[in-house]
Structure 1
Amino acid sequence: MYILTRDQYERQDGFESGYEVAGDYTSIATELQDECEADNRVLYPVHIESDVYHEEGPATLINWFRKFTEDYLDVPFHTCKLFFSGNRSIHVHVPRLVSGEDQRKQLKELAERFCTEEEAELDCGLYYAKRMFRLPGVEHSKRTLPKVKIQPEWDHERIVREASTTASETPESYEAVLRRVFATQPSLTIDAPQTSLDPPHDLFRVFDSDETVLELETGEQSIETPLIEQQEYPENQAEVIRWCQYNAKEFSPYALAKGNSRSVAALKVKGGAFTRDNVRNGATLVPAYFYGARGCAGEKFTKEDEHAPLQLSGHDSEKWDYEAGDDVVIIGGQSRNSRIFRVESRQATVVGHALTGDDASRQAALDFLEDEGYEVGEAGTSEKGELSKTVGPRKRAGHSPSVQVPHTEAAVLQQQAEQDGIETLSHMERWRVACRVLNWGWEPAWEWFENQFEGNFDSDITREQFQSVIKTYPDDYDHVEVPSKT
């Protein structure tokens, strides 16, 4: 969307076809586009695309899109419009804009960082100026299937059937597409009775810029690199421990994770988060003392009574609120969205002991934590020789969840919602509570959220978020029956 000055509008209006220009340009449109880009008078609609539909499948792509929109753009995923391209892509039309060239470049950098942190494959080449984007209803030249609207829960067969049988009307212009994406949500538009302009000229005037235009942060690191970081191992032995906490080989809770394998680490936080340019593209690191740690691949990435940094993913760094002196257990894996608990020193010591030595066992550590009242989940460790028992009975579906003495952060958040109102929780905090209450079954969890929201309860959003939890941790919720939508 290019915002023309009156002079620019009159210049282009004076051409019959737009191609009668002289000089370096063959079209007045391209000339005006370049002028607007130079003056930052352009709004770019936010789109997301991935071209690995056939390699990864729709469920994986939808999971990537949901994480990117909600965790990186802070836009509710259910407000987006999804389309199958007709060949090998899924397109997401996000009801947001970015303003100017700096923000467009920042959107590209954000998408690239997401791909690195989440091991996702988005088409980051999409975020260039003047990029072409197929309209709904237009057939793909290689498949002769049109671009059609889809729903996030559809599988491959349903998507192809929809593209093969649905008569999709092609809009007259891209302005009509934008109007459908934005105008279907009243919160993003304003009444503009003062204007007498007809579509498409009134489109910009009806947008609520405070709600629709994203303000993305710069790509500069906001975490300072500590002065303790040195290139050389210190000669003074008294400085070695502190040096190792920042410079030793970091422990990654996510490395070499395959299938349902998980990592477990018990540690004491020794300082605030920092970054190093040569480590994981500037990933967040935390100086720590490890009582014990075992990575997803067992003996690889193991720590025992060591001082070293802990690496955090984007998800984990956002929810990290621990300070120096806190004892923490982190259970990581392929999702890069770990379970993190603040524990007692006694508990951290026991977990660390279970993870080290000749009889090291991640499952033994998980069993101990479950005995202590922590929700460790039920995904396997895939490590041969480990204990396979499950301590205590599985939570019974239909049993109403309640909090007496909260042992976990999710339990604390649930108690906060019940006492202070669910509006006091952020979107991600509500999602974490949903992870907890779904252990008791779909209906009790549904009833709990319905009671908290009362008159503001939205069944569509609740269903979507519940299904998101179950898809993210399928092994933890294989006892939960998802009712059909009526």
Structure 2
Amino acid sequence: MNTDTSTSSTSTATTSNNNDLLCVQYGFPDGKGPHRAPRLQMISEPIPDGAETVSPIYKIPREQYEYQRDMENPYRVGGGYKMKATEIQDECQADDRVLYPIHIESDVYHEEGPETLLSWFREFVEDYLDVPFDTCTLYFSGRRSIHVHVPRFVSGEADRERLKELAKSYCRETGANLDLGLYSEKRIFRIPGVEHAKTGIPKVEIETEWDRTRIFREANGATPSTPATYADVLWDVFGQARLTAGTSGPDMDASKNLLQEHASDKTLLEFKPDESEDEIETPLIERVDEHPEDPADVPEWSMYNTQEFSPYALASGNPRSVAALRVKDGAFARRDKRGAATMVPAYFYGAIGCNGGFTKHDVHAPLQLSKMDYRKWDYSPGEKVVIIGGKSGSSRIFSVSSREATEVGHALRRDEDGRDMALNYLAEQGYDIGASGSATSSSRETTASRSGEYSNEIGTIWPARENQGNDVEALQWKAEQGDIHTLSRGEKVSLACRFLQNGWQPTWEWFEEQFGSTFKPEVTWRNLKGIVENPDFEKYDDVDVPPKPT
């Protein structure tokens, strides 16, 4: 046996090749073993008794694997490390010798329901990752989540970060709530078949067509066995045809076969060029703050510089937005606005946002487009367009006649049932407005609530009115015009104090939307937490501070 008391030459980084072994680190619950095992194991070795979680895959030379396997005390490591496994993992990360399995999760199963989660997962997998959703394996976590195992890896730290940014972008554009912490280095994942520590319900495979009742019934009555090896888990996710090259079954050397496939890139996620680079696809146009003196110049200035209309804002729990407009020019972006989101200069016949509180009538302004909508945007200046948007970020967009655009615009002016009238009119003209049809009574309720006191509805932060009712609303108006960076710290605190009366999440989302690409989650969390817990501020007894973002 060898006792490692310093960084040995056998543990130096080695260039990856097809003779490397695929190894993982297992995790254990309290009382059943170390939180993380001090040694790495090959994926073809038996999963240790009591193990619940497993790490990404690390490619290490055989001699390095055998050295750490035979160490008498893997906790006696030099270089500031507490265990040998961590040292090897860091070396693999530095040399891009890590395969990250692509998992997708969301912890809002009980709040949103399986149908919503599955729609998010399908959209992200097919539209953003370009992988057929029916090739994925789905599991119920046993408590509050659905886990999606995608038959792809990302290789190396740069692509792991790309995947994380892609998931962030999807959530930002659609309002989806995915667990972004999955895409961190050394993240561990629960093994299929393992019981959830708080419910005793195992992680079991489910089908896309199952509803909440069926999922719970199947999971609660299941007694699955845990896989014998992590290679077996990969076989279930990737399938024999994808995982091996010319082999006949999982009894083959799984590490070697998977490496052969990795060498041919058949299991690696391919990033589209426009998604893997931090580039702005549309021309950048700088904001012009000064309002033109000549009234004839106001329309052109407005369609580039006034508050944009977003078909997706405040969509959660609200009906769909509707807008009728005339395209005025080609798409553009501003680097400091909505994270350089795509905008289209437009004249609005009429528009109503998802929450009913943001409208436009007979004005020039930018139309904001999600990445999904911009991909299918094919409308020229002068065309009349109706866009019906919502939480998914994938809108229904129609080219309409001048009369139809005018009729929809007139309908949207109505205080009570304008949204319903507009949607019903479009349906009567033969347009497929979607399965949800008209907005029904929910639109009337949402619109009516806007007449109440400014921003006083719990859980809702309405856009500020142009004719502000108080100083705080004036600050909000200024921020929503793209000028939040000009506010002092005290002014931002005043806004936060007001918004926190509506809850943590609406406040967080408002600041995230205003700051766009410059939003700093840890700084925002620290500042909001300070307000909630500071006795000098108004008490927020009903506001729960979530865990610090990572």
Q: Which TM-score applies when normalising by structure 1?
A: 0.70
Corresponding residue for 2:304? Answer: 246
Match of 2:342 among 264, 271, 284: 284
Corresponding residue for 1:328? Answer: 385
AA of the residue aligned to 2:429:
E
Change (3 A) 1:258 1:166: closer
Match of 2:322 among 242, 264, 268: 264
Q: Give how far 1:27 is off.
A: 3.3
Q: Give how far 1:279 is off.
A: 3.8
Greater alpha carbon shift after TM alignment, 96-105 vs 110-119: 110-119
Q: Secondary structure at the match of 2:58?
A: coil
Separation (CA, whole Å) in 2 of partners of 1:259 and 1:32: 47
Greater alpha carbon shift after TM alignment, 172-181 vs 7-16: 7-16
AA of the residue aligned to 1:67:
E
Change (3 A) 1:20 1:295: closer
Separation (CA, whole Å) in 2 of partners of 1:23 and 1:92: 37
Q: Secondary structure at the match of 2:397?
A: strand
Is the Cα contact below 8 Å between 2:194 and 2:203 reproduced in 1? yes
Q: Secondary structure at the match of 1:328?
A: strand
Change (3 A) 1:312 1:224: closer
Q: Give how far 1:192 is off.
A: 5.9
Separation (CA, whole Å) in 2 of partners of 1:191 and 1:11: 31
Greater alpha carbon shift after TM alignment, 13-22 vs 348-357: 13-22
AA of the residue aligned to 2:285:
L
Separation (CA, whole Å) in 2 of partners of 1:158 and 1:275: 46
Q: Does 1:202 align with 2:257?
A: yes
Alignment of 1:5-404 (within 5 A): 5=61, 8-9=64-65, 11-12=67-68, 15=71, 18-19=74-75, 21-184=77-240, 186-187=241-242, 189-191=244-246, 198-207=253-262, 209-216=264-271, 217-218=275-276, 220-227=278-285, 229-235=287-293, 237-257=295-315, 261-298=319-356, 300-356=357-413, 361-377=418-434, 378-382=437-441, 383-384=443-444
Q: Give how far 1:367 is off.
A: 4.1
Is the Cα contact below 8 Å between 2:175 and 2:391 reproduced in 1? no
Q: Give how far 1:111 is off.
A: 1.6
Greater alpha carbon shift after TM alignment, 95-104 vs 15-24: 15-24
Q: Give how far 1:168 is off.
A: 1.0
Corresponding residue for 1:446? Answer: none
Separation (CA, whole Å) in 2 of partners of 1:271 and 1:57: 41
Q: Give how far 1:318 is off.
A: 2.6
- Any idea what the Cα deviations from partners look like across 1:325-378, whole Å, max 9, x if unmatched? 222111223444322111233432333334347898344433443443322342
Corresponding residue for 2:60? Answer: 4
AA of the residue aligned to 1:81:
T
Change (3 A) 1:265 1:53: closer
Q: Secondary structure at the match of 1:292?
A: strand
Q: Give the length in aligned residue pairs.
A: 381
Alignment of 1:457-472 (within 5 A): none
Q: Secondary structure at the match of 1:213?
A: coil
Q: Cα RMSD (Å) of the superposition?
A: 3.0
- Any idea what the Cα deviations from partners look like across 1:302-330, whole Å, max 9, x if unmatched? 22221101122343223222222222111
Corresponding residue for 1:388? Answer: none
Separation (CA, whole Å) in 2 of partners of 1:159 and 1:151: 8
Is the Cα contact below 8 Å between 2:424 and 2:438 reproduced in 1? no
Q: Secondary structure at the match of 1:210?
A: coil
Q: Give how far 1:258 is off.
A: 6.4
Is the Cα contact below 8 Å between 2:280 and 2:340 reproduced in 1? no
Change (3 A) 1:99 1:236: farther
Separation (CA, whole Å) in 1 of partners of 2:355 and 2:141: 38
Q: Give how far 1:219 is off.
A: 5.5
Greater alpha carbon shift after TM alignment, 197-206 vs 80-89: 197-206
Corresponding residue for 2:477? Answer: none
AA of the residue aligned to 2:396:
R
Is the Cα contact below 8 Å between 1:228 and 1:246 reproduced in 2? no
Q: Give how far 1:100 is off.
A: 0.8
Q: Which TM-score applies when normalising by structure 2?
A: 0.62
Is the Cα contact below 8 Å between 1:188 and 1:208 reproduced in 2? no
Is the Cα contact below 8 Å between 1:82 and 1:92 reproduced in 2? yes
AA of the residue aligned to 2:222:
T
AA of the residue aligned to 2:229:
S
Change (3 A) 1:3 1:297: closer
Unaligned runs of 5+ in 2: 1-56, 446-550
Q: Secondary structure at the match of 2:347?
A: strand
Greater alpha carbon shift after TM alignment, 84-93 vs 209-218: 209-218
Change (3 A) 1:199 1:302: closer
Is the Cα contact below 8 Å between 1:51 and 1:122 reproduced in 2? yes
Is the Cα contact below 8 Å between 2:416 and 2:444 reproduced in 1? no
AA of the residue aligned to 1:379:
S
